[in-house]
């Protein structure tokens, strides 16, 4: 039995309408996916205020009064997006608030440039450094006379700069160069606190035997050196020492 032509036509129209609906939904989903991907790739377009925009890396804010058709926050790499005189794209600001000269020592030999110097740079959480004779840093560190005067006044400076003010965007990496110089004759106080109970007797004897060697080693580092010794007994109740006569 043959089907009626009108019924076939209605069925075809229904199938065509179904396919058209599926195609339209697929297109909408595709557009939404592309838009979501664009937001992920371009974090600037969803920043509604200048405050949020300039805190985001690689974003700039357009202050043009009649700028209404496009987002005001945009990637600073896009050319001719906004007139240059209306573009606000702040850069990292670095200022040394305290940057005193490194101390070169408190005596004549130190002022002549003997000792050790170090330089390095910080970037994020990493640190790299290099070292050499401090005499090679005479030009970078300033005059030895000024540093010697600081040492004689007791203001010993071994790292420079001492305080830095930074203005930068969130999560932005910044490289900061640091300088270090080991001051000659820097005062060192070495104090030993030891448990003098019987169980620590061998350690006490070892320290006594190394006393002279320790003093000589420290003299090679600084002439301004003091060595102290203290004792305690690690017991909380009396008697604090052994009451056995033979001990």
The DSSP result for 146-210, as a single string, is: HHHHHHHTT----EE-SEEEEE--TT---EEEEEEEEPTT--EEEEEEEE-SGGGHHHHHHHHHH
Which range has the top average pLDDT, 152-166, 167-181, 201-215? Answer: 167-181
Closest alpha carbon to 118 in 164, 159, 161, 156: 159
Query: Do 192 and 228 touch, CB atoms closer than 8 A?
Result: yes
212-220 mean pLDDT: 85
Q: Does 161 sit behind a cis peptide bond, omega within 30 degrees of 0 on the bond before it?
A: yes
Q: Is the pLDDT of residue 194 over 70?
A: yes
pLDDT over 70 percentage in the chain: 64
Q: Is the pLDDT of residue 114 over 50?
A: no
Q: Is pLDDT larger for residue 16 or for residue 120?
A: 16
Contacts of 159 (CB under 8 A, 6+ apart): 102, 178, 179, 180
83-104 mean pLDDT: 90
Q: Is the pLDDT of residue 144 over 50?
A: no
Please write the tens of the pLDDT for every residue from 221-247: 888 888 888 888 777 777 766 677 776
Please write the tens of the pLDDT for every residue from 12-54: 677 667 767 776 666 555 544 454 445 457 889 889 999 999 9
Taking the model in full, what pTM does it have?
0.45
3-state SS class at 239: coil
3-state SS class at 96: strand
Under the banding of pLDDT at 50, 70 and 90, the label for residue 126 is very low
> Worst-scoring range by mean pLDDT, 5-19, 102-116, 166-180?
102-116
Predicted local distance difference test score (pLDDT) of residue 158:
87
Token output for 54? 């300039």
pLDDT over 90 percentage in the chain: 21
Q: Is the pLDDT of residue 113 over 50?
A: no
Distance CA 114, CA 61 (A): 53
């Amino acid at each position: 039995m043959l089907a009626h032509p009108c019924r076939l036509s209605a069925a075809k129209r229904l199938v065509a309408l179904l396919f058209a609906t599926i195609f339209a939904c697929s297109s909408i989903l595709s557009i939404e996916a592309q838009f979501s991907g664009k937001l992920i790739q371009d974090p600037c377009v969803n920043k509604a205020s200048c405050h949020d925009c300039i805190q985001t890396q690689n974003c700039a804010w357009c202050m043009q009064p009649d700028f209404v058709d496009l987002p005001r926050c945009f990637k600073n790499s896009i050319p001719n997006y906004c007139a240059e005189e209306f573009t606000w794209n702040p850069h990292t600001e670095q200022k040394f608030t305290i940057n005193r000269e490194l101390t070169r020592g408190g005596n004549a030999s130190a002022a002549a440039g003997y000792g050790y110097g170090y330089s390095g740079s910080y970037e994020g959480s990493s640190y790299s450094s290099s070292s050499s004779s401090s005499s090679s840093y005479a030009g970078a560190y300033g005059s030895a006379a000024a540093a010697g005067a600081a040492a004689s006044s007791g203001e010993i400076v071994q790292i420079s700069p001492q305080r830095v003010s930074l203005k930068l965007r969130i999560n932005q990496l910044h490289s900061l160069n640091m300088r270090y110089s080991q001051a000659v004759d820097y005062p060192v106080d070495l104090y030993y606190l030891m448990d003098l109970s019987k169980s620590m007797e061998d350690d006490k004897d070892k320290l006594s035997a190394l006393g002279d060697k320790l003093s000589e080693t420290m003299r090679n580092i600084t002439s301004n050196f003091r060595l102290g010794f203290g004792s305690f007994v690690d017991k909380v109740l009396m008697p604090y020492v052994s009451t056995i006569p033979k001990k």
